[in-house]
Amino acid sequence: VSADPMALTLLKEPGAMGADIAVGSTQRFGVPEGYGGPHAAYMACKDAYKRAMPGRIVGVSIDAHGNRAYRLSLQTREQHIRREKATSNVCTAQALLAVMASMYAVFHGPEGLKAIAQRIHRKAVRLANGLEEAGFKVDPKSFFDTVTVDVGPLQAAVMKSAVDEGINLRRVGETRVGITLDERTVPATIEAVWRAFGIRRSDEKFEAQYRFPDDMLRESAYLTHPIFHMNRAETEMMRYMRRLADRDLALDRAMIPLGSCTMKLNSAAEMMPVSWREFSMIHPFVPQDQALGYKHMIDDLSAKLCDITGYDAISMQPNSGAQGEYAGLLAIASYHRANGQGHRNICLIPMSAHGTNPASANMVGWKVVVIKTAANGDIDLDDFRAKAEKHSENLAGCMITYPSTHGVFEETVTEVTKITHDHGGQVYIDGANMNAMVGLARPGDVGGDVSHLNLHKTFCIPHGGGGPGMGPIGVKSHLIPHVPGHPNGGEGAVSAAPYGSPSLLPISWSYCLMMGGDGLTQATRVAILNANYIAKRLEGAFEVLYKGPTGRVAHECIFDVRPFEDSAGVTVDDIAKRLIDAGFHAPTMSFPVAGTLMVEPTESETKAELDRFCDAMLAIRDEIRAIENGDMPRENNALKNAPHTVEDLVGEWDRPYTREQGCFPPGAFRVDKYWPPVNRVDNVHGDRNLICTCPPMEEYAEAAE
């Protein structure tokens, strides 16, 4: 069942109607339209299917002190852990928008939401009554907030009159118009809609009326968790959000060295326009002459991205890198079909590829053939050539990343793309690492036919804790007619909105405008310099797994910490958790090589912050050495017990290091210390308790008082 969560505050919930799965958009919960996005969707299912659902579920676990700890469960299903078990190609989703929608529910609570829904419905009923009393036929008989009106040959005239009133109606077929109301509709709006139909009356009959059957009314309670009952004052709501923000270790506090994620500055000047109503309050299907500013921005940004990538056209439809991959592969598949080569279904993908690559290839129905990694970390060229030859007849293409996920500019890249083309395949270059290339090299010049760009990486859109994003694709001219959603044909759309999440684009556009061409190139140089600075400062303490022939890395590098498992019983998890004590978010763990850490500083970090990070890493190396030397026990040390919380400052202390050493390692600030809200979380316990069970009813009663 596809269902609007706002309507569900009044209507019987899909689960109670026998549905197995419910989906819908949460845009309705306080998220602006933004000319199409971003906004979060939801997907809910019966208990029986929870382990087959894509994505992750917030579950409850306990930490080392036995305190409650919320955590994302079931990461074993994600593409990078077990590719063949991945249930979707989604990586970046819409976490921030989901948070926004949830805050709307937290603030209004079930009673407030129900009152909003009732007001929306009553207005829709009043509007329909007025139209019916004037002789118009309104459908359907039962509705929540949306009706269509039969206007016969007057469709264009009615829509035009509405525009003159400042209102857009929706064209439905040849003879009908659609009208949807929301909580912002006021009597003057309803009267203006009536006027567009030639009805002159005032909206003043305010009795409560329902236009849906009694057995569709909701009977069950919802949003029973105390949090939906304790933030009714704006002051409390503000403090609640502040408390949550304080628990987060975000970019406004410290460098986030997540390799491949490109966690760079999202400047305030770039982000301010996102909330301007000129960008945020536009419906995706307004007549084009009402969105000329958007058109100018999208055209100009597309031209700049073509210039940067060496491609001939850009599609702004995909909402993430992975969706861009899917769209790009659909374009390749369509191209092969148009050439009578529809049987081509083999995709060559290196072992080191991001998990979304094989998952996307699976989604378009292709077979993935994995290419080995050579000793130096590069694509094994002999293996690539052999497999391209073997599958020559059916080769659809290859998916490669440049510079590679190993953080190296592979010098054989043009050979790889040539081999693919020689066998009739098309080349997909994953553009997630564009931060190492902008201004210096272009995927379109090294043989790429199509690439996605992660605007939420290289082009400054913030990650939002897992989205929103924008993953536009650039294509060479021969693929233009095959791009999904292109008006001239090709495959079907990958997003319902023509430009994906366009209200994010002012960020990337103003980034390009403010930096200018030289500035963008300089940013790339500094990003590469910063990564090499870290690699050099940590030399001797941590081994860089892969380097290019000149001994340098690209914009990120992989530190091999696997030897410490043997020498000290220290795992990649222990190091990541210990970095939290020093006030750093963990680097990327176990991607693309299990048991390693991948660090990407970006150009945004100062030398002082890079040094703070290196100091923290070197201090961790000293702690590992103390275990190796037998000066610290293998099971009870600051690494194994990390992260430390304020709970560790009080109560019993039976550890072979001091509280001071535990809580304030080198790199940690004293006054501005980041305190994690939980100690080490029990992962096994968490995966056994998938759904967060609500606190007992007594707590709920107290909170409601």
Ligand X SMILES: *Cc1c(COP(=O)(O)O)cnc(C)c1O
- Determine, following the binding rule CB under 6 A, whether residue 596 of this chain makes contact with ligand X: no
Nearest in space to 227 (alpha carbons), one of 111, 109, 115 = 109
Q: Which of 26, 315, 320, 352 binds ligand X (CB under 6 A)?
A: 320
| Distance (Å, whole) CA 209 – CA 121 | 8
Enumerate residues 350-389 that contact ligand X by CB under 6 A: 354, 356
Select from 219-227, 235-243, 317-325, 648-656 the region that touches ligand X (CB under 6 A). 317-325
Q: Are 315 and 327 in contact (CB under 8 A)?
A: yes
**Of 410 and 574, which CB lies nearer to ligand X in the complex structure?**
410
| Closest residue to ligand X, based on beta-carbon distance | 321
* Minimum CB–partner distance for residue 624 and ligand X (Å): 28
User: Helix, strand or coil for residue 659?
Assistant: helix
**Of 61 and 503, which CB lies nearer to ligand X in the complex structure?**
503
Pairing of strands 543-544, 395-401: unpaired
What is the pattern of x (binds ligand X, CB under 6 A) and - over residues 151-190?
A: ----------------------------------------
Select from 286-294, 318-326, 628-636, 697-705 the region that touches ligand X (CB under 6 A). 318-326
- Determine, following the binding rule CB under 6 A, whether residue 92 of this chain makes contact with ligand X: yes
**Of 4 and 430, which CB lies nearer to ligand X in the complex structure?**
430
**Of 371 and 624, which CB lies nearer to ligand X in the complex structure?**
371
Enumerate residues 461-490 that contact ligand X by CB under 6 A: 469, 471
What single string gives the DSSP state of each residue in 291-339?
Answer: -HHHHHHHHHHHHHHHHHHT-SEEE---SSHHHHHHHHHHHHHHHHHHT
Structure tokens at 149: 């009106």
* Minimum CB–partner distance for residue 705 and ligand X (Å): 44
In order of 122, 169, 202, 637, the CA distances from 192 in angstroms are: 17, 12, 9, 71
Number of residues that bind ligand X (CB under 6 A): 15
Select from 319-327, 380-388, 440-448, 610-618 the region that touches ligand X (CB under 6 A). 319-327
What single string gives the DSSP state of each residue in 438-486?
Answer: TTT--GGGTT-SEEE--TTTTT----TTT------EEE-GGGGGGSTT-
* Minimum CB–partner distance for residue 431 and ligand X (Å): 8
597: enclosing H helix or E strand: strand 596-599
Q: Which residues contact 635 (CB under 8 A, 6 or more apart)?
A: 569
Q: Are 413 and 447 in contact (CB under 8 A)?
A: yes
Enumerate residues 228-267 that contact ligand X by CB under 6 A: 260
Q: Which residues contact 133 (CB under 8 A, 6 or more apart)?
A: none
User: Helix, strand or coil for residue 42?
Assistant: strand
Q: Which residues contact 253 (CB under 8 A, 6 or more apart)?
A: 583, 672, 674
Select from 315-323, 495-503, 612-620, 643-651 the region that touches ligand X (CB under 6 A). 315-323
* Minimum CB–partner distance for residue 680 and ligand X (Å): 27
| Distance (Å, whole) CA 65 – CA 74 | 23
Q: Which of 91, 169, 368, 568 binds ligand X (CB under 6 A)?
A: 91
Enumerate residues 608-667 that contact ligand X by CB under 6 A: none
170: enclosing H helix or E strand: strand 170-172
Long-range CB pairs of 261-265, under 8 A, 24+ apart, other chains included = 261/457, 261/463, 261/588, 261/600, 262/432, 262/435, 262/454, 262/457, 262/458, 262/555, 262/600, 262/602, 263/463, 263/600, 263/602, 264/435, 264/457, 264/460, 264/602, 264/603, 264/604, 265/460, 265/602, 265/604
Q: Which of 25, 302, 405, 596 binds ligand X (CB under 6 A)?
A: 405
* Minimum CB–partner distance for residue 90 and ligand X (Å): 7
- Determine, following the binding rule CB under 6 A, whether residue 315 of this chain makes contact with ligand X: no
Q: Which of 454, 458, 503, 532 binds ligand X (CB under 6 A)?
A: 454
Select from 6-14, 78-86, 320-328, 375-383 the region that touches ligand X (CB under 6 A). 320-328
* Minimum CB–partner distance for residue 509 and ligand X (Å): 18
* Minimum CB–partner distance for residue 547 and ligand X (Å): 19
Q: Which of 432, 579, 614, 627 binds ligand X (CB under 6 A)?
A: 432
| Distance (Å, whole) CA 40 – CA 202 | 37
Select from 280-288, 314-322, 435-443, 609-617 the region that touches ligand X (CB under 6 A). 314-322
Q: Are 458 and 450 in contact (CB under 8 A)?
A: no
- Determine, following the binding rule CB under 6 A, whether residue 321 of this chain makes contact with ligand X: yes
Pairing of strands 21-25, 68-72: unpaired
> Scanning the structure block, which residue is given the tokens 């036919």?
449
- Determine, following the binding rule CB under 6 A, whether residue 448 of this chain makes contact with ligand X: no
**Of 109 and 259, which CB lies nearer to ligand X in the complex structure?**
259
* Minimum CB–partner distance for residue 522 and ligand X (Å): 23
Q: Which of 145, 203, 383, 430 binds ligand X (CB under 6 A)?
A: 430
**Of 61 and 309, which CB lies nearer to ligand X in the complex structure?**
309
- Determine, following the binding rule CB under 6 A, whether residue 501 of this chain makes contact with ligand X: no
Q: Which residues bind ligand X (CB under 6 A)?
A: 91-92, 260, 320-322, 354, 356, 401, 405, 430, 432, 454, 469, 471
